[in-house]
Amino acid sequence: MSTERYLRQVRFAPIGREGQERLGRARVLVLGLGALGSVSAELLARSGVGHLTLVDRDFLEESNLGRQTLYSPEDVREGLPKAIAAERRLRAVNPEIELEGRATDFNARNALELVSAADLVVDGLDNFEGRYLLNDACLEARVPWLHGACVGAYGVALDVLPADGPCLRCFFETPPPPELSPTCETAGIIAPAAHLVASLQAAEALKLLTGHAEALSRKLVSFDLWEGWHREIDASPRARRADCPACGAGRRDFLRGRRESTAAALCGRDAVQVLPAAEGGVDLPALAARLGPATGAEVNPHLLRFSAEGIAFTVFRDGRAILRGLTDPARGRSLYARYVGG
């Protein structure tokens, strides 16, 4: 551990040298590397968290650059998945730590594997189903996680400690209907809101990882930077609901896959993600050769892009695909089977 690199942080009495050493041994999973996760990941990398696993299913687009400060126009031009671009950038930021970028979907197949390997999970997800799955997996593995979300100028943050407090479903028992849920695509977002939520998450992460759970917020915090209000709701152990379906009744509705589909519309993206029926991945160069030049197929080590029937396909090495230009999951599955394979 570089003494000079973390000197100012070590001089902060609640962390000190012992806390810094604990950070160096910590393993953190960052799920989602958009506006929230990319900022949280950078703050934790610069703080000296020893091992960061970076998971995101998406690839970079120019519209990301206004608020996702980890990335550059060159990353967009290269067509990089966010997880790969984030790993590359953070290696340059802090070569002392271990980084693992995984361009994959977080789903019921891999949730427990990913969560169980971490000391803490930071939520940078962009959809409710993923957060409820994360809640289930962390309860099952008894791993703490830091919830965060933002849209427009609004943000919310919550610490979830499975052994000592309420879970996400104690406050929000079921996901809201899609038609009542604004997205960054429909309502927009300003960078300061995302960065504030990420900063709250990173600060709570430092408290937990350095052994200062007594300093945690223990509140569900929400704010609107444009309207200028801030609210807090008790999230201490007494806020835990005995009738909560997840931490009270012990149900794992999302983890058990009863709420997961093989194709789903992406929040506010005019796109559908399709998961392959079986694991094993795709040989991208071979698929590009099979598709032929008529589709305009372009392949790099991480993904394959092509167009067919007015739909823009992005196929990842793990077999996932994002189909842009439609919102019907059934049609997405059909097109996937037609062009990528059954």
Positive/negative CA dihedral, 321, 324, 328, 332: negative
Active site residues: 184
Instruction: Quote the crossing angle between the two packed helices 35-47 and 191-209, to the nearest 10°.
Output: 40
The predicted structure's pLDDT at residue 211: 97
- 38 or 342: whose pLDDT is higher? 38
Cα within 13 Å of Cα(326), Cβ side: 24
The predicted structure's pLDDT at residue 173: 92
pLDDT (mean) for 168-180: 79
The predicted structure's pLDDT at residue 251: 95
The predicted structure's pLDDT at residue 191: 94
The predicted structure's pLDDT at residue 132: 95
Q: How far apart are CA 304 and CA 316, in angstroms?
A: 7
pLDDT digits (tens, 9 = 90+) for 151-160: 999 999 999 9
* Confidence grade of residue 8 (pLDDT, cut at 50, 70, 90): very high
* Average pLDDT score over the chain: 91
The predicted structure's pLDDT at residue 158: 98
* Confidence grade of residue 321 (pLDDT, cut at 50, 70, 90): very high
Q: Is the pLDDT of residue 52 over 50?
A: yes
Q: Is the pLDDT of residue 342 over 90?
A: no
The predicted structure's pLDDT at residue 126: 84
The predicted structure's pLDDT at residue 41: 98
Strand pairing of 321-324 and 271-274? Answer: antiparallel
The predicted structure's pLDDT at residue 339: 87
* Confidence grade of residue 86 (pLDDT, cut at 50, 70, 90): very high
pLDDT digits (tens, 9 = 90+) for 114-139: 999 999 999 999 888 889 999 999 99
Report the share of the chain in percent with pLDDT over 70.
Answer: 93
Cβ(225)–Cβ(108) under 8 Å?
Answer: no
Burial (Cβ within 10 Å: 0-12, 13-18, ≥19) of residue 138: buried
The predicted structure's pLDDT at residue 21: 97
Q: How far apart are CA 282 and CA 222, in angstroms?
A: 42
The residue extents of the domains of the chain are: 7-239, 263-339
pLDDT digits (tens, 9 = 90+) for 219-272: 999 999 999 999 999 999 999 999 999 999 999 999 986 544 578 878 667 899
Report the share of the chain in percent with pLDDT over 90.
Answer: 73
- What's the per-residue H, E or C state across the chain? CCCCCCHHHHCCCCCHHHHHHHHHHCEEEEECCCHHHHHHHHHHHHHCCCEEEEECCCECCHHHCCCCCCCCHHHHHCCCEHHHHHHHHHHHHCCCCEEEEECCCCCCCCHHHHHHCCCEEEECCCCHHHHHHHHHHHHHHCCCEEEEEEEECEEEEEEECCCCCCCHHHHCCCCCCHHHCCCHHHHCECHHHHHHHHHHHHHHHHHHHCCCHHHCCCEEEEEECCCCEEEEEECCHHHCCCCCCCCCCCCCCCCCCCCCCCEEECCCCCEEEECCCCCCCCCHHHHHHHHCHHHCCEECCCEEEEEECCEEEEEECCCCEEEECCCCHHHHHHHHHHHCCC
Six-digit token string for 26? 């910590």
Q: Is the pLDDT of residue 180 over 70?
A: no
The predicted structure's pLDDT at residue 259: 46
Architecture of domain 263-339: 2-Layer Sandwich (3.30)
Nearby residues of 140 by Cβ (< 8 Å), 6 or more positions away: 112, 115, 252, 255
The predicted structure's pLDDT at residue 281: 84
The predicted structure's pLDDT at residue 179: 43
pLDDT digits (tens, 9 = 90+) for 277-319: 667 788 999 889 888 888 899 999 999 999 999 999 999 998 8
The predicted structure's pLDDT at residue 278: 66
Architecture of domain 7-239: 3-Layer(aba) Sandwich (3.40)
- 176 or 231: whose pLDDT is higher? 231
Q: How far is CA 108 from CA 72, 113, 128, 262, in A?
A: 32, 10, 14, 11
